[in-house]
Structure 1
Amino acid sequence: MDMELPLGNDPVSIRRRVEAMERVLERSFVLPGTNQQFGLDALLGLVPIAGDVISAMLGLYIVWEARNLGMSKWQIARMTANVGFDAVVGAVPVAGDLFDFAFRSNSRNLRIIRKHLDKHHPHTRVIDG
Structure 2
Amino acid sequence: MPTDTSLTARLPDRAEDLARVDRVARLLDTRYGIPGTRLRFGLDSIIGLIPGVGDTAMLLPSLWIMSVVWKHGVPKRTIGRMAWNAGVDYVIGSIPLVGDLFDLVFKSHRKNAALLREALARGA
Range class of TM-score, shorter chain: 0.7 to 0.9
Q: Does residue 1:19 correspond to 2:13, yes or no? A: no
Query: How many residue pairs end up in the alignment?
Result: 113
Q: Quick one: distance in 1 between partners of 2:41 and 2:59?
A: 16
Which one has a larger percent helix, Structure 1 or Structure 2? 2
- 1:75 corresponds in structure 2 to 78
Structure 2 unaligned spans of 5+: 1-11
- 1:54 corresponds in structure 2 to 57
- 1:96 corresponds in structure 2 to 99
Query: Which residue identity lines up with residue 12 of structure 1 in the other structure?
Result: A
Identical positions, percent: 35
- 1:120 corresponds in structure 2 to 123
Q: Which has the higher contact order (CA 8 A, sep 6+)?
A: 2
- TM-score, normalization: structure 1? 0.82
Please identify the structure whose Cα radius of gyration is greater: 2
Shift of 1:63: 1.1
**Which consecutive aligned stretches of 4+ in structure 1 deviate over 6 angstroms post-superposition?**
none
Q: Please state whether the residue corresponding to 1:70 is helix, strand or coil.
A: coil
Q: Please state whether the residue corresponding to 1:15 is helix, strand or coil.
A: helix
- 2:68 corresponds in structure 1 to 65
Q: Quick one: distance in 1 between partners of 2:98 and 2:25?
A: 23
